[in-house]
């Protein structure tokens, strides 16, 4: 049996030691049967954690992502990667993760406001955040890390250790296991059917009971088989494979759709979400793939939405039909 593993090394300028050069080793292990991967950084046990304690949450005085603390408390990239140390776009600032899970793992505080309610986010804030992340992907893509991933855990029930709204970005010379599986399945469909799965999906969902609406460059719907509660997908209507291929109008459409969905989920009682953008490296031909964004609601309180069925059964137990919540979300478009 072959037990495969490899190590990635993240270099950051650490604020805890006067912004001296710090190194983190991440061990990546590959399951010998399924090919699934795990990432281990033992220093992550030291992550600070902010817990939401009630509706009248007071902004923590030491939140490192708030403007009065950010320059002092967050790390910087090394000058050979980002000469300024951090990337900025509008109100968004991107800097290294202090407890990384890949050699290139960043955090993007996309709004200076310590806001928690899903209906308070602005299109401009999401736009600035995505644009800032895209700048990062462009830079690291030219340094041998073309595969990129943008994720968002909002509030502790979704897995966020800090409450201040922030995206996370990862880039590598290898794709993450989840996006890789999606990319490979899309290519298999293309070779088997002679056309793009994503084009077929858009044709199937436009006008279906799961259809929600459209924004510039994106079609939004509830998937036929959701992978989480109240899950929503947004797919590039122009068959753009990569986030790096989007122009400003399309990033605006993506941001607009995300904000509309967040507001609609808030109307349905949601407080916490997890989001991911699945995107192909720019510059490589991928007629069989279209980029997409997925959001799902995470639980409130102390009850987990991931139990034996989800963790070991490989399936998801849900309580709401996608056709039902799609109808409610449609009102936001």
Tens-digit pLDDT profile for residues 81-105: 999 999 999 999 999 999 999 999 9
Query: Are 79 and 96 a contacting pair, CB within 8 Å?
Result: no
Tokens at residue 68, please?
């009065």
- Rounded distance between C-alpha atoms, residue 111 and residue 106, angstroms: 15
172-203 burial string, b = 16+ CB within 10 Å, else e? beebbeebeebbeebeebbeeeeebbbbebbe
Of 70, 71, 95, 89, nearest in space to 132 by CA: 89
Predicted pLDDT at 325: 97
Which helix (H) or strand (E) segment holds residue 21: the answer is: strand 20-30
Mean residue pLDDT across the chain: 92
- Rounded distance between C-alpha atoms, residue 278 and residue 320, angstroms: 25
CATH code of the domain made up of 63-333: 3.30.428.10
- Rounded distance between C-alpha atoms, residue 161 and residue 138, angstroms: 27
Predicted pLDDT at 61: 67
What string of pLDDT tens digits covers the 333 residues of the chain? Answer: 999 999 999 999 999 999 999 999 999 999 999 999 999 999 898 887 776 665 445 566 689 999 999 999 999 999 999 999 999 999 999 999 999 999 999 999 999 998 889 999 999 999 999 999 999 999 999 899 999 999 999 988 888 888 999 999 999 999 999 999 999 999 999 999 999 999 999 999 999 999 999 999 999 999 999 999 999 999 999 999 999 999 999 999 999 999 999 999 999 999 999 999 999 887 666 788 999 999 999 997 777 888 887 888 888 899 999 999 999 999 999
| pLDDT, tens digit, 9 for 90 and up, residues 157-193 | 888 888 999 999 999 999 999 999 999 999 999 999 9
Cα of first residue to Cα of last residue in the chain, in angstroms, is: 53
Number of Cβ within a 10 Å radius of residue 77: 23
- Rounded distance between C-alpha atoms, residue 78 and residue 85, angstroms: 6
Specify the pTM. 0.94
Q: What is the DSSP letter of 234?
A: E
């Amino acid at each position: 049996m072959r037990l495969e593993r490899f190590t990635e090394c993240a270099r950051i300028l650490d604020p805890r030691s006067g912004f001296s050069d710090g190194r983190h080793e991440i061990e990546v292990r590959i399951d010998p049967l399924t090919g699934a991967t795990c990432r281990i950084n033992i220093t992550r046990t030291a992550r600070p954690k902010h817990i939401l304690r009630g509706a009248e949450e007071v902004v923590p005085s030491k939140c490192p992502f708030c403007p009065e603390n950010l320059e002092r408390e967050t790390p910087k990239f090394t000058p050979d990667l980002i000469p300024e140390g951090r990337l900025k776009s509008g109100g968004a600032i991107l800097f290294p993760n202090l407890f990384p899970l890949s050699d290139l793992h960043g955090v993007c505080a996309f709004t200076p406001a310590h806001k928690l309610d899903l209906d308070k986010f602005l299109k401009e804030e999401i736009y600035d955040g995505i644009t800032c992340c895209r700048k990062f992907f462009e830079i690291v893509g030219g340094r041998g890390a073309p595969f990129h991933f943008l994720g968002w855990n909002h509030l502790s029930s979704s897995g966020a250790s800090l409450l201040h709204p922030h995206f996370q970005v990862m880039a590598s010379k290898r794709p993450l296991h989840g996006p890789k599986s999606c990319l490979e399945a899309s290519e298999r469909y293309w070779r088997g059917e002679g056309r793009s799965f994503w084009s077929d999906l858009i044709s199937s969902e436009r006008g279906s009971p799961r259809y929600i609406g459209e924004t510039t460059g994106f079609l939004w719907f509830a998937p036929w088989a959701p992978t989480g509660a109240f899950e929503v997908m947004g797919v590039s209507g122009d068959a753009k494979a990569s986030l790096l291929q989007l122009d400003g109008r399309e990033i605006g459409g993506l941001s607009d759709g995300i904000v509309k969905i967040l507001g609609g989920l808030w109307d349905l009682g949601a407080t916490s979400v997890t989001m991911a953008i699945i995107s192909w490296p720019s510059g490589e031909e991928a007629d069989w793939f279209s980029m997409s964004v997925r959001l799902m609601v995470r639980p409130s309180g102390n009850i987990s939405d991931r139990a034996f069925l989800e963790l070991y059964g490989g399936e998801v137990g849900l309580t709401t039909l996608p056709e039902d919540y799609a109808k409610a979300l449609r009102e936001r478009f």
